[in-house]
């Protein structure tokens, strides 16, 4: 299995194959979801004290907060996918 790490800002990385969703923290249901994760000790705050702009949900039920826009993170996932597919040569 290939371990791919995606930069989510400020020197923090997340394993690409573990991420299930990337959402904006603006809605009330997502805010409640974040609070529930905090209460259950499943929250990882990777914002370095900055405003939360993206919430990443993993398949291990961890919730990761990032100060990077969701679109930027998705672009980094896509960019990594393009690099990976381009690096394989046909035998």
Instruction: Tell the residue number behind the tokens 């370095």, with chain if given.
Output: 48
**CA–CA distances in Å: residue 29 to residues 11, 14, 25, 35, 68:** 28, 23, 9, 10, 20
pLDDT confidence band for 81 (50 / 70 / 90)? low
Distant-in-sequence, close-in-space partners of 18: CB < 8 Å, separation ≥ 6: 58, 59, 60
pTM of the model as a whole? 0.86
Q: Using the predicted structure, report yes or no on whether residue 50 has a pLDDT greater than 90.
A: yes
Mean pLDDT of all residues in 28-51: 98
Classified as helix, coil or strand, 66 is: strand
Tens of pLDDT, residues 25-39: 999 999 999 999 999
């Amino acid at each position: 299995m290939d371990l791919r790490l995606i930069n989510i800002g400020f020197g923090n990385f997340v394993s690409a194959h573990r991420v299930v969703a990337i959402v904006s923290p603006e809605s009330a249901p997502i805010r409640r979801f974040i609070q529930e994760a905090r209460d259950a000790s499943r929250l990882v705050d990777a914002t370095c004290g900055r405003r939360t702009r993206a919430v990443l949900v993993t398949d291990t039920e961890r919730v990761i907060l990032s100060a990077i826009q969701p679109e930027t993170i998705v672009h980094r996932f896509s960019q990594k996918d393009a690099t990976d597919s381009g690096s394989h040569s046909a035998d």
